[in-house]
Structure 1
Amino acid sequence: MHDINENIESPLELKVSFDKLLKHYEVLAESDDELILEKAKRILKIAETYPELRKGFSETSILKKRKKEISVILQDSFSPVLTKNEIKTASVPFHNLIFNSSDRFKNIISTAGDDFELKIKNMPKDDTYIMACTIILAFCYGYSLNFKRPFYYEIPDVNGVMRYYKILYNADFIEITPKKSAPKITQEDYEILLDSFENIDLWKEKFPPNSYTFKGFVISNIFDVTDDQSISNVKSALIGDEKCSDENIVEDFSKIFRSLLGVNDIQIGFSIYNKEESTFERIYDVGGKSFLLNKAEKLKCSDALCKWSYKRLLQDNKYFSVSDVDKMFKASKRKTPHIDALHEQGIKSAIFAPIANDDGLMGVLEIASNEPLALNSINANKLEDVMPFIVSAVERSKNDEENLIEAIIQQECTSIHPSVSWKFKSAAKQFLIDKQRFAANATFKNISFKKVYPLFGQMDVKGSSHSRNNATKKDLILQLSLAEKIFKKLPEKEHMPIYEQIKFQIQSYTKEINVDFKVDSEQQISGFFKREIEPLFRFLQKKDKAYSKDIEDYFGKINKDLGVVYYYRKKYDDTIALINKKMSNLLDQKQVDAQQMYPHFFERYKTDGVEHNMYIGESITKEDSFNVVYLYNLRLWQLQVMCEMEREFYNSQSEYPLSLDVASMILVFNQPLSIRFRMDEKRFDVDGTYNARYEVVKKRVDKALIKGTNERVTQSGKIAIVYSQKEDEAEYLRYINFLQSKSILDCDIEILELQDLQGVTGLKAIRVSVLYHKKDNDKAFYTYNDLMKEIKK
């Protein structure tokens, strides 16, 4: 670089000049103090000999050529007495060119390394131009704009630790004058510029490049603010919810603590304290490193610390350091868990700081180094200034985790459907307000919705009790036969009356299961196996190895958790679980589309099949938009989805461990009713005596019989639609007619009267067969009987 203005775009043409400083010496040249007078005359003589130092120059060659003279002129500003202590430079603004500096500054730069390039850290290019413009506004037009920002140097020390230096400028020795080409700034221009900070083009229009002359120099007073900046960096790293779970936070923290503690070789670890279990646990969302836990996922606090360190961290909530791990390891003779853990990881010194609030310990900040004595009780004191910010961040993170856990519980266990969540939020807000006003007397408002239309449907496994009992009988008979087989192998000499009695009991239970299986038979026989068979077989196994193989075979077929044969029952349970899963998933997927048609409340339950409730109405949507057409649409949607669930079930028969049948039913209730959320049961239920009739019908209707017969209204392969009003019949016959045209339902429509239920009379039902595809690409349609024949083939 030959000219300091090269490669710089600025409204200022820079010239180094000492004119304003020299004018001070002109005043001092009139002093009565002989020493001051002599020095002033000497400096003015230099300026007279080299007029460019007063006139101003931009050639860097002059800085080199007149380095000695410039040093003399600046001697009072750069006191030789303070040169090894003060960090000070002389330069021009917005430029990394330095032409005079204190010895301490020179030492800082020399230890930074040969490849280090000095740059102001936070000096954006466009901001630099605008900052120069604001200086012009102040110097030339008297408009004082506060655009002072703190500027910093980041300079590594001899150990490679990054240190931070704040720059404060002394602008006493500068003058700025407009060139003839410079546009004059008016009050109107000034007011426009006030609202145009980011419009760099406008600033360049009002202050074209090199339209003003800068003469003089600035003195930079520089201060080491590493500690303050490190604390600020800790705060910045912890601000914002997203920062606390950032995977890079551990590495960021390591850099910050290297600067704060002045140690380059530093690693950061964390462990969380689980108060309920009194354990330290790994934190996975911030890197997962913990020097206290080493390779363990979690440890009892008493197993991770010695008695003294346990008391120090958990009871006193005070930090402690280990300055020489190897020395402590030899002295402790493997009796100090945390020292053993550090030694195994090659750590030479460490600090453990409790992250604690008024409620006690929440976690531990772990700082480790591979250098002995690098971390100690002296530099550990620096943590006092940063720990409050870490504590606040951990508190926030802990609260967020608790809220997330609560949200998961709400979603998985007591889910509030999105269609009604607005009312719960409103009630919760009101509850918080009431708590402030009435304290303990505040109550959570009842959640209810008036005039909503109910829809109910279910797909139930047909004969589920019979199938379950049959699977239970098969398991018990199998277990009894396995036990009897072992008794039959006992030699004559081993026969004792007690063995004969047990054999008789086995045969009696077998006969009972085949002839008259009762509700309590399963419990009795399971108790017999546990009390008598299992202890005896364990005894025989130890007594004589000849029985070992058969007895091992017996126990090999026993479920370890249940203590019984669980083969056929498992097939039944797995089938029910798979049916529920597939049908629920299908229903949930279809619900997404239904909600987009018109929002409504939806809930489903897994029983021996899948049930679902829906409520639709104005009070749920909270908008003046409900029309009865949305109810009709939802009813048709429900009928279509029930047909689709039927088809999906039978087309997936090959996937089920056990062959079972299902029966589907829809209940129609044509009067709006009120529902209320029952806090104790965490679910919605009908509100009021009048509406209770709906719940009664819902619970009993699937077992309703056709009038004058013993035949249930629900049948495999058919959809049963139960109703009480003639208009409902006409409505659903229209839907059925539509679905018949789509080859979804068959033509065998039945209109049936149902026998009276307890407290309910006048129910009727439409029953119609579902048509099935054999395969997805098969255009032919099958009835239920056709499908069963195909499946059996």
Structure 2
Amino acid sequence: MIETRNVYINKLIAVTSAYSDLSFAKLYEHLRTIDVGSIGQSMSQLVQQRIAEIEKEKGELSVDNAQDFLEAFELIFGWANNLATDTPQAWGMSTPIPSVLFAGTVPMYDLLEQTLSPVIDQRAHLFCRDVIHTDKIMYELVLDRLYGIPMTATPYIFEYIGEEEVTKYLKLEVDFSFVTVRPKTVLPTLDFSCVNNREMLDEANVQPLLQSIHLDNFIFEGFSMLRFTDATESFVLDSIQDMILNFNTYTRNEFVHSLLDKIKSVLGKQDVNCSLFPVLYLNGMPILKEGVAKSYLLFNEYIGGNIDNIEEYVLRYLESPFILSYNIHPDFDTKLEYFRAKIEALDVSSYVCFPLKHQEELVGFLELYTKEESTLSPSILTRLSPLFPVLIQLGYDLRLKFKNRLDTVILQNYTALQPAVQWRFNQAAAKYLKDYENTHESLPLERISFSNVYPLYGGVDIKDSTKLRNIAFRKDNKLHLDRLRSLMKYLPEGLFPDLAALKSFKRKMDKVDTWLATDRKVERMHDITAFFQEEVATFILTLSWLDDELDRQIKIYAESLGITYYQDAFEESLKQVNTLIAGNINKLNEFVQERFPSYFEKFRTDGIEYDFYIGQSITPSMVFNPTILRTFRRQQLVSMAQISQQVDRLQDSLPIAMNTTQLIFVHPTAIDISFRRDERRFDVEGGYNIRYQMIKKRIDKVLIRGTDERLVQPGKIAVVVQGEAEVSILIEDLLSVADMGLIKPDIEELELEELQGVSGLHALRVDVIL
């Protein structure tokens, strides 16, 4: 049923003041081209004749008299439906460049009354982003009809809130088959030189081409036909695929909400919840990994690899999974009591769990469930079936991302082979295999080295860590000695069989007491440890069975022998501080790798030292600009300041208070490094390059010239540089970090004492704002 009323549709497609007329001329021309004798030829003739009669009777078609042509519109509608493979339900006719819908079906008008919002960025359509929608349509028509450059029309996608408050998607297709384009004057010649020899066309390339076309010089006649079709399923599929491709651009919550909204649209149900999580296999055992969900239900207790106590029933299910359902349909619901009981305990009104398989291998699960009065229906199977391929791909991609992260962790933390240099090892290994295939002999492996790389060194040390460790050692052993003296008080007079041995043991106790009281460096640490582990143990054996109360006290003493309270507190504090330092250094590494992949290594002492090696030879696929080093060194300063601040905030929670010193060494020139197979790591090579290693190993204990003060101090960042050329640049960088509120703007410029074989060292030092 066709209606005639004028509805402005510029809310869908922006409109310009293009010159256009309504006309049936292009339709007549098309109808006359129908092959004689074809099935549609007779009907086409009738349509043409009757529309011509109406036009002769009513005059030329216009927006104002459209209601007089209702019969003609119904003929066109019927004729178009007979030719179409799929009968449109929402169909209409509009001006040549769509601005006014003057005839259409009831569903078409009903949809135009909805609040339709575009969901595809039409500005990216055709050539230029700054050309409005309608101008782009007109450019397409001009290029297609007058210059023989066919263009592919992109359908418009809109969303609206349908029944049950669920978002639905529509596709609006505009058919310009019956639109004629003609120039008002001579057709201008286009200059195609701007797109000659171009691999890709972008806006800048095509803009000169469009400048030759002035849309005001063209007339658009005829009418366009509009069709709305439901695009929910196809749009959701495309959207989820796009989400998968751009997974890293989403936060987890954003991805969850977007995925859930898409599933709700397909199901036509608002009050449904979902979770999707991958299944990984490590060493042959399944691990259920966090994926995309608001909450996990049936397998929540096993998420994150907690499979130590996984029930055998669940393991068997993971080996051969099937659909689990509850309260959907009696014939479909799961009958197994084990799973039915677990689902009933979830406090849901209906539930279904779909296993997702990629090439017959389980990659994840999709859970859907409702609560309260709402339930899922069996139609869920048919409605979701088109989505399963992309959901399976999502589960597979999530698993692949985890595996890649796993490999990266192993490469960065357990082997010397890092992603930034792996290409060079691959190259050497490929050459080795090729040579072996040609000669069938095991030839020496190629030496791997990188030349002209710039080193970045940083070190964070625990202030007085050796002193703190020695204090903890003395305290623990003094406590053991005091307990041993208390035990000796219970030795009955005259019962000990060897008095000489007893006197000798007491003299050794006094000597250990003296060592603990006077030896600040605990140089006798080995002797003290041996005394408690060997001599005390032997002596205690001689005391057994002498007296019941003594035996009871020996048992109490023995239980305390393995306790190292102060040393444990030291190690726990050291662990917390080093974990904090390592986390910040890892963030610095991520910062560097994202901008220019480089070789990175760190060394654990009482604190952490690290080296970056950055240069063209390590990453030949990118153009190396030495100015990026300044960005990295500035970030080093930021990282050091944040470490100092965070360690300061950590003090109250540490068993033993610890402070850190922060040191950076700026080596202004490039060096060479090579891979040492014996140590499975990179090292510098050549006399001049070794000088870099020598300097960085000595500067942590260097003194300020003319004083007894060490350069490195808690709450400060020290930057050492050889030569004066870099000093002014470093001062600028320090002041920029000061503007961030991390350090104080007062910069100390210091001269350092000469180290053996090293002279001309300068230093800058700043206070961190704690």
Q: Give the shorter-chain TM-score range.
A: 0.5 to 0.7
RMSD, aligned α-carbons: 7.1
| CA-to-aligned-CA distance 1:658-688 (integer Å, 9 cap, x gap) | 999x9xxxxxxxxxx9985333423456989
Write out per-residue CA displacement over residues 588-616 of structure 1, whole angstroms, 9 at most, x where no aligned residue.
x9xx9xxxxxxx99988666899999999
Could you say if the C-alpha distance between residues 151 and 552 of structure 1 is closer, same or farther in structure 2, counting changes exceeding 3 Å? farther
- Displacement, 1:235? 1.4
Counterpart position of 1:175: 180
Q: Is the 8 A contact 2:15 2:134 kept in 1?
A: no
Q: CA 1:459/1:177 → structure 2, altered by over 3 Å: closer, same or farther?
A: closer
2:360 is the counterpart of 1:354: no
- Partner secondary structure for residue 431 of structure 1: helix
Is the Cα contact below 8 Å between 1:12 and 1:210 reproduced in 2?
no
Cα deviation digits, residues 616-637 of structure 1 (max 9, x gap): 9999999xxxxxxxxxxxxxxx
2:116 is equivalent to residue 86 of structure 1: no
What does 1:387-406 correspond to in 2, within 5 Å? 387-406=391-410
Aligned equivalents of 1:609 and 1:616: distance in 2? Answer: 23
What runs of 5+ residues in structure 2 fail to find an aligned partner? 124-130, 516-523, 592-597, 621-653, 662-670, 699-706, 711-721, 724-748
Q: Quick one: distance in 1 between partners of 2:185 and 2:458? A: 81
Cα pair 1:293 1:304 within 8 Å, conserved: no
TM superposition shift of 1:319: 4.9
Q: How does 1:33-44 map to 2 (within 5 A)?
A: 44=52
Taking a change above 3 Å as real, the CA distance of residues 431 and 579 of structure 1, as seen in their structure-2 partners, is closer
Are the structure 2 counterparts of residues 678 and 572 from structure 1 closer, same or farther at C-alpha, using a change threshold of 3 Å?
same
Most deviating of 673-682 and 259-268: 673-682
Alpha-carbon separation, structure 2, partners of 1:522 and 1:323: 68
Indicate if the aligned counterparts of 2:288 and 2:304 stay in contact, CA closer than 8 A: yes
- Residue 372 of structure 1 and its aligned partner are, at CA, apart by 1.8
Q: Cα gap change, 1:552/1:232 in structure 2, threshold over 3 Å: closer, same or farther?
A: farther
- Aligned equivalent of 2:63: 58
Please give the alpha-carbon distance, in whole angstroms, between the structure 2 residues aligned to 1:82 and 1:610: 72
Structure 2 distance, partners of 1:246, 1:551, is 56
Q: How far apart are 1:766 and its partner, in Å?
A: 11
Residues 1:49 and 2:62 are matched in the alignment: no
Instruction: Answer whether contact 1:155 1:162 (CA < 8 A) is retained.
Output: yes
Post-superposition offset of 1:75: 5.3
* Structure 1 position 120, deviation (Å): 9.0
User: How far apart in 1 are the matches of 2:189 and 2:479?
Assistant: 102
1:366 aligns with 2:372: no
Among residues 178, 185, 188, which one is paired with 2:187 in the alignment? 185
Q: Return the TM-score normalized by structure 1.
A: 0.57
Give the secondary-structure state (helix, strand or coil) at the position aligned to 2:295.
coil
Q: How many residues align?
A: 624
Q: Which whole-Å CA distance do the structure 1 matches of 2:479 and 2:460 have between them? A: 32
1:236 CA displacement = 1.0
SS of residue matched to 2:526: coil
Contact kept? 1:11, 1:129, Cα under 8 Å:
no
CA contact (8 A) 1:126 1:200 kept: no
Q: Identify if the C-alpha distance between structure 1 residues 200 and 571 changes in structure 2 by more than 3 Å, giving closer, same or farther.
A: closer
CA contact (8 A) 2:32 2:45 kept: no
Note the C-alpha offset of 1:238: 1.0
**Alpha carbons of 1:58 and 1:306: their partners in 2 closer, same or farther (altered >3 Å)?**
farther
TM-score normalised according to structure 2 size:
0.58
In structure 2, do the counterparts of structure 1 residues 353 and 245 end up closer, same or farther at CA, with 3 Å as the change threshold?
A: farther
Is the CA contact 1:431–1:442 (under 8 Å) kept in the aligned structure 2?
no
Aligned in 2, Cα 1:529/1:257: closer, same or farther, shift over 3 Å? farther
Superposition deviation, residue 237 in structure 1:
1.0
Find the residue that maps to 2:154 and give its secondary structure: coil
CA distance in structure 2 between the aligned counterparts of 1:458 and 1:488, rounded to whole angstroms: 51
Separation in 1 of the partners of 2:338 and 2:29? 75
2:271 aligned partner: 265
Q: 1:214 aligns with which of 221, 232, 238?
A: 221
Distance 2:355 2:574 in 1: 54
Contact kept, 8 Å, 1:151 with 1:166, in 2: the verdict is yes
In 2, distance between residues paired with 1:450 and 1:174? 66
Structure 1 residues 232, 319: closer, same or farther in 2, change over 3 A?
A: farther
Match of 2:254 among 239, 248, 257: 248
Report the equivalent of 1:234.
Answer: 240
Distance, in Å, in 2 between the alignment partners of 1:609 and 1:448 is 29
1:112-511 equivalence runs, <5 A: 115-117=114-116, 123-124=122-123, 126-139=132-145, 141=146, 143-178=148-183, 182-188=184-190, 203=210, 206-209=213-216, 211-215=218-222, 217-240=223-246, 242-243=248-249, 247-276=253-282, 278=285, 280-281=287-288, 283=290, 286=292, 289-294=295-300, 298=304, 300=306, 307=313, 310-312=315-317, 314-316=318-320, 319-322=323-326, 324=328, 336=340, 338-340=342-344, 343-344=346-347, 346=348, 348-354=350-356, 356=358, 360-370=361-371, 371-374=374-377, 376-406=380-410, 408-409=412-413, 414=416, 425-432=423-430, 434-435=432-433, 445-447=446-448, 472=473, 474-485=475-486, 488=489, 507=506, 510-511=509-510
Look at both structures and tell me which one has the larger radius of gyration over its CA atoms.
Answer: 1
Q: Is the 8 A contact 1:355 1:387 kept in 2?
A: no
Q: Secondary structure at the match of 1:252?
A: helix
Q: Distance in 2 between matches of 1:80 and 1:448?
A: 73
Larger deviation: 505-514 or 611-620?
611-620
* CA deviation profile, 1:257-310 (whole Å, cap 9, x unmatched): 2334444333332334353485655537x5663234458864646977883x65
The answer to whether the 8 Å contact 2:358/2:393 transfers is: no
Q: Deviations over 1:507-544 (max 9, x none)?
A: 5762463489683652562478899989x99xx9xx99
Take 2:172 and 2:262, find their aligned partners in 1: how far apart are those partners?
Answer: 20
Tell me how far apart the structure 2 counterparts of residues 674 and 339 of structure 1 sit (CA, whole Å). Answer: 63
Cα deviation for residue 129 of structure 1 reads: 0.9
Percentage of identical aligned residues: 16
The 1:321–1:94 alpha-carbon spacing in structure 2 relative to 1, beyond 3 Å, is farther
- Tell me what 2:512 maps to: 513
Give the direction of change, closer, same or farther, for the CA distance of 1:568–1:508 in structure 2 (3 Å limit): farther
Letter of the 2:62 counterpart? F
Q: Secondary structure in 2 aligned to 1:386? A: helix
Q: Deviations over 1:535-566 (max 9, x none)?
A: x99xx9xx99xx99x999997xx6xxx93244
Secondary structure at the counterpart of residue 248 of structure 1: helix
Residues 276 and 395, structure 2, Cα contact 8 Å, conserved in 1: no
- Provide the C-alpha distance between the structure 2 equivalents of 1:226 and 1:149, rounded to a whole number of angstroms: 17
Query: Are the aligned partners of 2:325 and 2:333 in contact in 1 as well (CA < 8 Å)?
Result: no
Structure 1 contact 349–374 (Cα < 8 Å) conserved: no
Q: Residue 22 of structure 2 corresponds to which residue in structure 1? A: 16
Code of the residue aligned with 1:186 in structure 2: it is P
**Paired position in structure 2 for 1:69:** 71
| TM superposition shift of 1:101 | 3.7
Opposite residue 424 of structure 2, the aligned amino acid is S
Q: Which residue in the other structure is 1:786 paired with? A: none
Q: Structure 1 residues 347 and 468, CA, compared in 2 at 3 Å: closer, same or farther?
A: same
Amino acid at match of 1:47: E
Instruction: Specify the SS of the correspondent of 2:78.
Output: coil
Question: Following the alignment from structure 1 to structure 2, what is the Cα–Cα distance between the partners of residues 310 and 614?
Answer: 45
Structure 2 counterpart of 1:677, which letter?
Answer: F
